[in-house]
Amino acid sequence: MKITYLRLVNFAGIYAGLGLSDVTIDFKNAKHKITLLNGVNGSGKSCLLSNLNPYRETFDARKTIIRTDEDDKLMDGYKEIHYEAWGKKVVIKHYFGETSAKNKAYIEVDGKELNENGNIRSFNTAMEATLKVTKDYFTVGRLGDNVTNFINFKTSKRKDYINTFVPNMILIWKLFKQLVLSFKLLRITSIA
């Protein structure tokens, strides 16, 4: 699964950190396989990382992930993320708003919409069938005092998560070793 595009509109963490209402990152233009997010504390790095998650939830315990206006009403927010997964192009769009009618989630695979009504529950089902990952898969992605994740799970939920996650550990370890080797080669090349 490869992320190729991300757009966030009216996200509180981005606006607080960068002063921007609309941020777009096109990963297809990246020259390398690794992307580094660099910035001072509070610049929006964690918000970006949290929203690489294809689901609506970001596991952020802050009051809201979408900005509010002067009257403390939720602004209209938008998240769009593109993936390449198993030879398919997947486009996910989330709409956030003050009313439930404005809160919608869509998933398009190779140009075909799989969740035409925008219902969030049916979106989650379509996501699991398409990307082969549940919401829980993304729970270890961030650690911090403003994050709700694996640590907050009840014991039975932690066991279920570990039983899902552990089979992938061998692959993750191989990728980590490859990454370490790549950095060593990069360091040697840059010194020489």
pLDDT string in tens for the chain (192-residue length)? 788 999 999 998 889 888 999 999 998 877 777 777 788 888 888 788 888 888 877 655 555 688 988 888 889 999 999 998 888 999 999 999 888 788 999 999 999 999 999 998 899 888 888 877 777 666 555 545 555 566 666 778 777 766 766 666 777 778 778 888 887 777 666 665
Residue 41 in tokens: 């504390």
- CATH code of domain 2-151: 3.40.50.300
Amino acid at 115: N
Cα 163 to Cα 74, 137, 156, 167, distances in angstroms: 38, 11, 11, 7
Which residue in 118, 161, 95, 109 sits closest to 1, CA to CA? 109
Residue 73 in tokens: 């009403």
Cβ atoms within 10 A of the Cβ of 68, count?
Answer: 14
- Give me the residues paired with residue 66 across strands: 11
Domain range list for the chain: 2-151, 153-192
Strand-pair category, 112-113 with 77-85: unpaired
